[in-house]
Amino acid sequence: MTPDEIRAFRARLGLSQEALARALPCSVSAIHGWEHGTRTPGPLLARALADLEREIKNKKRVDKPLP
């Protein structure tokens, strides 16, 4: 995924970098690096983001609500 695609995904769901980091889970610095092109996301990121989007849309998350 490109930095623009990751930023667009996060914006589409209305998540902060911190909220996305908690939901994946990963570090905020990883999210920042992916969005600024200084880190390369792993091959499973696209799938993890798609799963997260589906969970949020279906409201099946059982942990804390995302801000």
Structural domains of the chain sorted by starting position, each given as residue range(s) with its CATH number in brackets:
3-58 (1.10.260)
Q: What is the pLDDT of residues 30-48, one digit of tens each?
A: 999 999 999 999 999 999 9
Question: Which pLDDT band holds residue 63 (cuts at 50, 70, 90)?
Answer: low
Sign of the torsion formed by the C-alpha atoms of 54, 57, 60 and 61: positive
> CA-CA distance, 67 to 60, in Å (whole number)?
15
Task: Read off the pTM.
Answer: 0.79
Residue found under tokens 């695609």: 5
